[in-house]
Structure 1
Amino acid sequence: MRLRSAGLLLLLLSGLHAVIQEEVRAMVGSNVKLSCISTEEKTFDLNELFVYWQIGATEKPETVTYYLSGNSSAGHGNNHYKDRAQLSLDSMKQGDFSVHLYNITPQDEQKFNCLVFSKLVKILHVVVTLHVAANYSMPVVSTPDNAPEDEELTFTCTSTDGYPWPNVYWINRTDNSLLDKALQNSTVSLNARGLYDVVSVLRIRRTPNVNVGCCIENVLLHQNLTVASHTGIIETFKGNDTEVLPDTHPDRTRAMVAAITLLLTVVVAAAAGWWCRSRCPGKNYTGAQALRPELGFTDHV
């Protein structure tokens, strides 16, 4: 309680001085340095210093870590930052009052106030805004399981473990236009790690060869993760009847037709030769030669 009161008093006393504003970005799980450096070219006596790193509103600040004149080491005022926030005594002697934060979490997205006093005179006030980010997983788009007679198709897109709050877009891959937001229903929730999971459901009217994409945007990282889904390769089942959509490789189809035609031609030629030998033995056998024009025709199918 005494520490908080002292911190509040010092913070209020610093209001008349210029404040330096900085912004820092850090990934979840990484380490980051929040800078608070004096521009004066001189060394500092630790016995004359009071250093506070605080978060929260001016009227009710919460101490992250601190150094008090006469102490041999820095302390911590918030259990969330115990063993995670570190000041360097050697650096402070040289005018570097920066704090090192370890194992960044989403809860560290705060405005951090660095207050430095020498002989109870405020010599430095820096506000560092920490922005926290985490990569979303690659989106997974489920294929529609709607019955063939349904007029509406349903796609589901999921992505997990990201930060900050995502933007979700569905794209018409035919012309890369954005689909109407009214067609989608997105749910974003916090998981046990304090990160966001997103599930987005798209319902659109059935059209031939529907091709849509799901895009998860992380604004802070300037990152768009997009996965497409094409119903043109789906087989649709209805009762005992199976409707297989047309082959999308016409060259392969022509090759298969040519091979089957050639095989049938060879079989016919062999049968004709056997028939000819049985009816016309000796030097009068011409069955294979008679069928050669057909073989030439088959090669061009």
Structure 2
Amino acid sequence: MTPVSIEDINFEWRAEGDIVDAFVKGQHELTNQEKQYRNRTELFITELAPRNLSLKVSHISPNDRKVYECWFFIDEDRNGYLDKWLLKVAGHYSEPLIKGPAKTDLRNRDADFICAATGGYPEPKVHWFINQKKVPPQSNRINTTITNISSEKYDVKSVLTINMTDDTSVYCTVENELLKEERKSTDIQYLVKTKNELHSGDRRHWWIAVIVAVALLVIIVIVAAVFRSRNNSASSGMLNLNVSSQVSTFKLFTNI
């Protein structure tokens, strides 16, 4: 077989019938290139001799998720379809944020937990875990909403409703199957008190208040007693002084 020179190699990369990039008669040919691929493609021209017909596409977006086909043309007897590739596009989601109810008195009440993540692609899956056990995805306690914020990104929000009958630990994960990535939220915990515990806590608070009130009363009584004692001492001093003056005056009058 006669060796093939670069000048004899002609090939095209196509996607859904559009020309992505091409090499014709020894030249990089971009005349018929589809507009959406302008300045985003690259051929390995220096490696064409060893038959490297690879294509590089930059600045990937979900719009590039297509089947790419390579067609080659050497001469009239040797030309046609060579190979095809499916380009898969994916983007990372943010770390999931989880939020629970503000109330702490939750025993035998329904409580909503919210898990949210943003900016990923494609649509994710949200998984919930209660006390380290996975909640079945089809559970009617889960309500998940996925919002397409642009052609390239999704936001997800999932709400899990739990009837709080015992101490509970909750977290969620957001899974991106294409990236084989599952991101985990923080683990939040709720200690559920019984009525007896609540009443016991109330009683403890009541006794603390009583003790504080008694202590304040004792302090007030002591302070009042101290002031009263000081006032009595001051009055006695004045009385003695007056008596002494009267006696002195009386003695002086007698001597005359």
Q: TM above 0.5, one fold?
A: yes
Where 1:131 maps in the other structure, the secondary structure is coil
Q: Paired residue for 2:170, among 212, 216, 240?
A: 212
C-alpha RMSD of matched pairs (Å): 3.6
How much has 1:122 moved relative to structure 2? 1.7
Aligned to 1:109: 65
8 A Cα contact 2:22 2:28, kept in partner: no
Aligned in 2, Cα 1:209/1:228: closer, same or farther, shift over 3 Å?
farther
How much has 1:96 moved relative to structure 2? 0.9
Establish whether residue 74 from structure 1 lines up as the match of residue 25 from structure 2.
no
Establish whether residue 160 from structure 1 lines up as the match of residue 118 from structure 2.
yes
Q: C-alpha distance in 1, partners of 2:92/2:46? A: 36
Q: C-alpha distance in 1, partners of 2:104/2:93? A: 32
Q: C-alpha distance in 1, partners of 2:80/2:102? A: 67
Which ranges of structure 2 fall in alignment gaps of 5 or more residues? 193-197, 202-214, 216-256
Aligned to 2:10: 50
Q: C-alpha distance in 1, partners of 2:81/2:6? A: 15
8 A Cα contact 1:44 1:95, kept in partner: no
Establish whether residue 136 from structure 1 lines up as the match of residue 96 from structure 2.
no
Cα distance per residue 1:173-220 (max 9 Å; x no partner):
25x232453211111122236122111111222333222111111112
Percent sequence identity over aligned pairs: 23
Letter in 2 for 1:88: F
Aligned to 1:4: none
Aligned in 2, Cα 1:82/1:233: closer, same or farther, shift over 3 Å?
farther
8 A Cα contact 1:52 1:114, kept in partner: yes
Aligned in 2, Cα 1:51/1:185: closer, same or farther, shift over 3 Å?
same
Aligned in 2, Cα 1:144/1:229: closer, same or farther, shift over 3 Å?
farther
8 A Cα contact 1:146 1:153, kept in partner: no
Q: C-alpha distance in 2, partners of 1:192/1:46? A: 43
8 A Cα contact 1:159 1:198, kept in partner: yes
8 A Cα contact 1:159 1:199, kept in partner: yes
8 A Cα contact 1:43 1:94, kept in partner: no
Q: TM-score, normalised by structure 1?
A: 0.56
Q: Paired residue for 1:202, among 139, 160, 178?
A: 160
Where 2:63 maps in the other structure, the secondary structure is helix
Aligned to 2:130: 172
8 A Cα contact 1:143 1:231, kept in partner: no
Where 1:182 maps in the other structure, the secondary structure is coil
8 A Cα contact 1:136 1:160, kept in partner: yes
Q: C-alpha distance in 2, partners of 1:43/1:207? A: 79
Runs of at least 4 residues off by over 3 Å: 145-150
Pairs aligned (count): 198
Which one has the largest radius of gyration?
2
Q: TM-score, normalised by structure 2?
A: 0.65
8 A Cα contact 2:147 2:154, kept in partner: yes
Q: C-alpha distance in 2, partners of 1:44/1:101? A: 27
Where 1:136 maps in the other structure, the secondary structure is coil
Cα distance per residue 1:253-280 (max 9 Å; x no partner):
xxxxxxxxxxx9xxxxxxxxxxxxxxxx
